Structure 1
Amino acid sequence: MKITDFIYYIFILFIVAACSGGRPLQLRETPLEISSEPIEKGLAPIRDIQMYYEIHGKKDGVPLVLLNGGGSTIEVTYSRILPLLAQNRKVIALDEQGHGRTTDRNVPVSFETSAEDVVALLKFLKVDQADIFGFSNGASVALNIAIRYPKLVRKLVFASSITKREGAYPMFWNFMKNATFENMPQALKDAFLKVNPDPKKLHTMYEKDAARMRNFKDLSDKEIRTVGIPTLILLGDRDVPKLEHAVEMVRMIPKARLLVLPGGHGDYLGEAIMSQGKDRYPELTSALVQDFLDSP
């Protein structure tokens, strides 16, 4: 191993230890098998759509809101980590506009409109303040909420996303430029059709999500620096966002911390399209995220 590689891995271990609040993490020898049934679920009338939501875990306390990646459902992004998070807290999960069980509107899907939808859902559920955990496109939605409604968000987990086009590798943008419905991962198609068996709606969702990324607009440094809440920047060491971009965000957000875990986009969540369900990444990620949420 080169000395530079050794220093890099020591750096990663230091980050993990720092986020754990000084308490040793003990993982089981085999993956933890936990299931979670929602204590409440339904369709909420939100800004001219019917938004599907689920509530898991405890009835009281500051809820943790989970926002999915693009093209995904609750099950695709969070099925393995949600039960772990719901053991000790109230968790609210939802499907974005046109995704899964949530209806669509005759306008493009955007980070800004989805942020307004989430805010409206929390108002519908009588939630005055929440922690928000967004993955990929969901993280961009979560950051928009934190910027526009700073009093609504107590803590933010910004996972595997970017604030500027240069934050992702050129090969990602080249792929998006030439992406078609045919090369959309089959696992995402199957997950959508499992909860919404309408191929036309699946195709529409894909086209809107692809257009959103092709038209991605940078956030200004000024906007990013307005985020004054504790923020955990989370990504894999082989993720779509560049590690340098995550470091830049940590330097701009006054109360930000950085957590880098081994793997690619969604590996640390046990995301359905990435994981075979045999690893313990979700348990590790859940422990570190909850330590961050529970810290002063």
Structure 2
Amino acid sequence: MQPEQKSEIINSNMASVAMDSLNMESGYSQVNGLKMYYEIYGQGKPLVLIHGGGSTIQSNFEKVIPLLAKNRKVIAVELQAHGRTNDRNTDLTFEQDADDIATLLKNLNMDSTDFFGFSNGGTTALQIAIRHPEIVNKIILGPALAKRNGVPEQFWEFMKQARLENMPPQLKEAYHKVSSVPTGLQVMHDKDAKRMVDFKDIPDEQIKSIKASTLIIIGDKDIITPEHAIEMYRQIPDSELAIIPGGHGEYIGEITTLKPDSKESDFVIPLIEKFLNKKKG
């Protein structure tokens, strides 16, 4: 890393804080016009966590970070206009999110890493594997949308009429916990909705070009259809598919589907660790 690249790293009270007996480092990095927020937990091979639309690190991954960080260095990010990362005068795109994460990892002097993307984060992980294959070891898609027909038709009608008042209250609360920007929640909501309305299919040839070992995880009552996950599984050469009982993100304790009686054993961490530790054939 060049000295000027190092200077792009803005440390924000890098003092360690405890989270479920873990040490956590947090900071900001100058990334393509953003001050991009990230958190780092644990030691070991790096695993990058990519949140979904309308979410923060904690609203998607708070329950599983302590489990994953027992054996891994976990790098969790917040993307443009989400959580503690500021906005810029551009629409959200999965391609730009992929480029932003690639730049962040370069700033942090990290080379080949594993990625776990949840929901929209899964689509971003797909774009990282397509656009930046040199930095990808393995990817986990939990799940990912690659085609408009991967969700029921009424999903698109809902997105066209999306209103902030209909956003899950848990996600609103999670945003306000970490951001004090008065208009930020509305901006995040509107840009996320527009991105989905404008979503275009990822071409088959790009999906088939993915060389990284891939694990696709989907709930049997997910937003994305099991048929779509199966199609992606057939297209990505080195891929595995797990269909888990439950709703969208229930298998990782995502905040809107988390049940009061959920336990560590309900989450799919052993499945993820087995996949990440498996040697390539």
2:79 corresponds to 1:96: yes
- Higher RCO (CA 8 Å, separation ≥ 6 residues): 1
Deviations 1:32-68, CA, capped at 9 Å, x for gaps: xx8254432111111111000010011xx43000000
Deviations 1:116-138, CA, capped at 9 Å, x for gaps: 11000000110011000000111
1:73 maps to 56
Question: Does the 8 Å contact 1:268/1:282 carry over to 2?
Answer: no
Q: Distance in 2 between matches of 1:231 and 1:251?
A: 11
State the Cα distance separating 1:178 from its structure 2 match.
Answer: 1.5
Deviations 1:91-140, CA, capped at 9 Å, x for gaps: 00011111000111011111011111100000011001100000011111
2:4 maps to none
- State the TM-score, normalizing by the size of structure 2: 0.90
Question: Does the 8 Å contact 2:252/2:267 carry over to 1?
Answer: no
1:48 maps to 33
3-state DSSP of counterpart to 1:55: strand
- State the TM-score, normalizing by the size of structure 1: 0.85
Q: Distance in 2 between matches of 1:84 and 1:149?
A: 28
Aligned counterpart for 2:46 among listed residues 60, 63, 71? 63
State the Cα distance separating 1:209 from its structure 2 match.
Answer: 0.4
Query: Which runs of structure 2 are paired with 1:158-173 in the superposition (5 Å)?
Result: 158-173=141-156
State the Cα distance separating 1:161 from its structure 2 match.
Answer: 2.1
Q: Answer with 168-177 or 221-230: which moved more.
A: 168-177
Q: Answer with 66-75 or 281-290: which moved more.
A: 281-290
Query: Which runs of structure 2 are paired with 1:113-132 in the superposition (5 Å)?
Result: 113-132=96-115
2:172 maps to 189
Aligned counterpart for 2:254 among listed residues 271, 280, 293? 271
3-state DSSP of counterpart to 2:45: coil
2:140 maps to 157
2:6 maps to none
Q: Distance in 2 between matches of 1:149 and 1:275?
A: 33
2:14 maps to none
The aligned amino acid for 1:274 is T
1:35 maps to 20
State the Cα distance separating 1:179 from its structure 2 match.
Answer: 1.3
Note closer, same or farther for the CA distance 1:281–1:262 as it changes in structure 2 (3 Å cut): farther
Q: Distance in 2 between matches of 1:36 and 1:242?
A: 37
2:161 corresponds to 1:178: yes
Unaligned ranges ≥5, structure 2: 1-18
Q: Distance in 2 between matches of 1:126 and 1:283?
A: 35
Structure number having the greater strand percentage: 2
Q: Distance in 2 between matches of 1:277 and 1:83?
A: 18
Note closer, same or farther for the CA distance 1:93–1:85 as it changes in structure 2 (3 Å cut): same
Question: Does the 8 Å contact 1:133/1:139 carry over to 2?
Answer: yes
Deviations 1:192-233, CA, capped at 9 Å, x for gaps: 011002230111111000000111110011000000111001
Question: Does the 8 Å contact 1:136/1:160 carry over to 2?
Answer: yes
Note closer, same or farther for the CA distance 1:230–1:110 as it changes in structure 2 (3 Å cut): same
Question: Does the 8 Å contact 2:26/2:38 carry over to 1?
Answer: yes
3-state DSSP of counterpart to 2:48: strand
Question: Does the 8 Å contact 1:115/1:142 carry over to 2?
Answer: yes
Deviations 1:248-274, CA, capped at 9 Å, x for gaps: 111111101001111111111111111
State the Cα distance separating 1:281 from its structure 2 match.
Answer: 6.1
2:128 maps to 145
1:230 maps to 213
Question: Does the 8 Å contact 2:114/2:138 carry over to 1?
Answer: yes
What CA RMSD, in Å, does the superposition of the two structures yield over aligned residues? Answer: 1.3
User: What is the percent sequence identity of the aligned residues?
Assistant: 46
3-state DSSP of counterpart to 1:39: strand
Q: Distance in 1 between matches of 2:265 and 2:202?
A: 30
Q: Distance in 1 between matches of 2:220 and 2:177?
A: 32
